[in-house]
Amino acid sequence: MAVDAHDAAASAPGMPQLDFSTFPNQIFWLVVTLVAIYLLLSRVALPRVGAVLAERQGTITNDIAAAEDLKRQATEAEEAYNKALADARAQAQAIAAEAREEIMAELADATAKADAEISAKASESAARIDEIRAGALEAVEAVAKDTAAEIVSALAPAAADADSIAAAVSTRVKG
Amino acid sequence: MSDDAHSEDAVETHGADAAHGADAAHGADAGHAADAAHGADAGLAADAAHGAEGGLQIHPMDQFIVQPLFGDGPISWYTPTNVTLWMLLAIVGVAILMVIGTRGRAIIPSRAQSVAELTYGFIRKMVEDVAGKDALPFFPYIMTLFLFIVMANFLGLIPMSFTTTSHIAVTAVLAMLVFVTVTAVGFIKNGVGFLGLFWVSSAPMALRPILAIIELISYFVRPVSHSIRLAGNVMAGHAVIKVFAGFAGVLGLGAVAPIIAITAVYGLEVLVAFIQAYVFTILTCVYLRDALHPSH
């Protein structure tokens, strides 16, 4: 019943699938289609997609490697920074200690110098005081001699012997 | 039944078979016309009813008729027909997806390129996992089969279109290509050892000849099941949609139930369109594995 279907192509008596008269046509066009799709895929599409996927895989791998590298560099940089920081701190402490020592030394020097100056000034002053004191004693003696001579000459002008008076005064002042 | 007159006409023109079909087409049972033979009978009966003027006019199988694109003449092997048109559209679809879609060759893909890459990865992984690494030279071939079937199935879901994969002539050629390739590869790669596929060495000696016969039969039935599974699924779904569409046409504006049914069946058909392409491809891979590694 299906074999004569092409006589009445407008409607389908039975299954058009079993209309064998259309088989060569379908098979021919199917083969053409399959060959076309196969060529399209094997020549153009599949190599292209494969290349893109491989390239992407490569890019991802590279990026991951680069990221690891960068991470390693960052870690190294951090370590270097920490090391530099520690060094700087140690150096700073050393400098500070050195400066303190220097300052201490300078201070000690200055103190010693000042002490020396002070003692020099003190001894000088003491010498001057002694000098002044000696000067004063001499002055006292001279004044005493003059005064004694005046008094002696006033009381007993005959006995006014300057040398004996001075000797007497000197002995009395010293005694 | 009220349709007795039509049924009698049907009996006169086409015999008792048609009468049964007429009942199916006129009754509420027509929804069960899912299996191919039943569907065909419904078409036959509808035709008979059509001839007997009036009644339901459902031609679920008309959508599968192969017609010349130009004129009305007989169909020879080179005539451009609706088969030609829809296969050409399948090529165009594949070209748009796989060639134009991947035109950018972008590291970060566009949407079309993503789909192309997913398809590529999907089939490549299937070939690798199911058929093994040494089956990768067949990847373009299997990709061709998959893309043609999936594209033809989905193009066939466009209303008023023609579904090339609903024809047993097409699916039989596809299945025979696989069968011949697999058999040839089996013998080329393994020589006579390929026959070990039929000799179940793990079974007891007494059972082996019987198993060999069963294996042999199942091997030669493969292309039949391989092709009829695809064509049958696609054809049945389309025929069911057409039958419901016929009901909707008769009921007019009140055709809520048929429209819901068409929507549901259409959704199912979208699934079937992909799943059948997937099944066809994965079976090809399974057969290929048998050819490359025939030992049980």
pLDDT tens-place string over residues A13-45: 578 888 888 899 999 999 999 999 999 999 999
- Cα of B263 to nearest chain A Cα, Å: 25
**pLDDT score for A158:** 74
Q: What is the predicted pLDDT for the residue at B76?
A: 86
Chain A residues within 8 A of B167 when measuring between CB atoms: 16-17, 26
């748009």: which residue's tokens? B96
Q: DSSP for B39-99, please give it.
A: HHHHHHHHHHHHHTSSS----TTGGG---BSSSS----TT--BHHHHHHHHHHHHHIIIII
Are B231 and A17 within 8 A, CB to CB? yes
CB spacing of A17 vs B235 below 8 angstroms: yes
Q: Identify the pLDDT of residue A160.
A: 65
Q: Hey, is the C-beta of B219 within 8 angstroms of any chain A C-beta?
A: no
Q: Please state, in angstroms and rounded to a whole number, the distance separating the CA atoms of residues A158 and A72.
A: 123
Helices (H), chain B: 4-14, 16-26, 36-51, 82-94, 111-126, 139-155, 168-190, 208-251, 256-292
Question: Which residue from A23, A28, A38 is facing B144, i.e. has the nearest CB?
Answer: A38
d(CA B134, nearest CA chain A) in Å: 17
Instruction: Count the Cβ atoms, other than its own, within 10 Å of residue A128.
Output: 11
Structure tokens that stand for B166 in this block: 């609903």
Residue B44 above 80 pLDDT? no
d(CA B269, CA B153): 9
Report the alpha-carbon distance of residue B239 to residue B36 in Å, rounded: 8
Among residues B61, B56, B64, which one has the least CA distance to residue B258?
B56
Cα B34 from Cα B100, distance rounded (Å): 38
Please give the pLDDT value at position B165: 94
The CA distance from A68 to the nearest CA of chain B, in Å, is 21
Rounded to an integer, the average pLDDT of A117-136 is 90
A58 touches B128 (CB < 8 A): no
Nearest residue to B55 via CA among B7, B21, B19, B12: B7
In chain B, the residue whose alpha carbon lies closest to the alpha carbon of A51 is B105
Find the mean pLDDT for residues A125-143: 87
What's the pLDDT at B130?
94
Q: What is the CA radius of gyration of chain A?
A: 66
Q: A30, B173: Cβ pair inside 8 Å? A: yes
Whether residue A29 and residue B84 make contact (CB cut-off 8 A), yes or no, is yes
Phi-psi region of B15 (alpha: psi -120 to 50; beta: other; left: phi over 0): left
Do the Cβ atoms of B186 and B197 come closer than 8 Å? yes
Taking only the tens place, the pLDDT of each residue in A77-122 is 999 999 999 999 999 999 999 999 999 999 999 999 999 999 999 9
Neighbours of B91 (CB within 10 A): 19
Q: Which residues of B touch A37 (CB under 8 A)?
A: 90-91, 94, 144, 147-148
Residue A163 pLDDT level (bands cut at 50, 70, 90):
confident
**Mean pLDDT of the B155-170 span:** 93
- B253: pLDDT confidence band, cut at 50, 70 and 90? confident
How many residues are recorded in chain B? Answer: 296
pLDDT of B54 = 46
Q: Which chain B residues are Cβ-neighbours of A14 within 8 angstroms?
A: 40, 43-44, 61
Q: Cβ B168–A59 below 8 Å, yes or no?
A: no
- The b/e string for B219-230 (b: 16+ C-beta within 10 A; e otherwise) is beebbeebbbbb
Q: Of the candidates B138, B90, B98, which has an alpha carbon nearest to the alpha carbon of residue B118?
A: B98
Confidence of residue A154 (pLDDT cuts 50, 70, 90): confident
B234/A59 Cα distance (integer angstroms):
43
The Cα diameter of chain B in Å comes to 70
- The average pLDDT across B165-192 equals 93
Would you call B109 and A53 a contact, using CB atoms and an 8 Å cutoff?
no
List CB contacts (< 8 A) between A38 and chain B: 140-141, 144
* Residue A120 confidence (pLDDT): 92
Residue in B closest to A21 by C-alpha: B75
What local confidence, expressed as pLDDT, does residue B140 receive? 95
Query: pLDDT at position B55, please?
Result: 55
A72 alpha carbon, distance to own chain's centre: 24
Chain B residues 44-103 within an 8 A CB cutoff of chain A: 44, 47, 50, 59, 61-62, 64-67, 72, 74-79, 81, 83-84, 87-88, 90-91, 94-95, 98-99, 102
Query: Are B140 and A18 an interchain contact pair (Cβ–Cβ within 8 Å)?
Result: no
User: What average pLDDT score do residues B104-123 get?
Assistant: 92
In this prediction, residue B157 has a pLDDT band, given cuts at 50, 70 and 90, of: very high
Type and span of the H or E element at A142: helix A46-155
Q: A-chain residues within 8 Å CB-CB of B47?
A: 11-13
Of the candidates B244, B238, B226, the one whose C-alpha atom is nearest the C-alpha of residue B162 is: B238
The reported pLDDT for the residue numbered A156 is: 78
Query: Which whole number is the average pLDDT over B130-137?
Result: 92
Q: Residue B158: left if φ>0, alpha if ψ -120 to 50, beta else—which one?
A: beta
pLDDT per position as a tens digit, B66-90:
889 888 888 888 889 999 999 999 9
Of the listed ranges A6-10, B68-72, B167-171, the one predicted with least confidence:
A6-10
Partners of A55 on chain B (C-beta within 8 Å) are 107
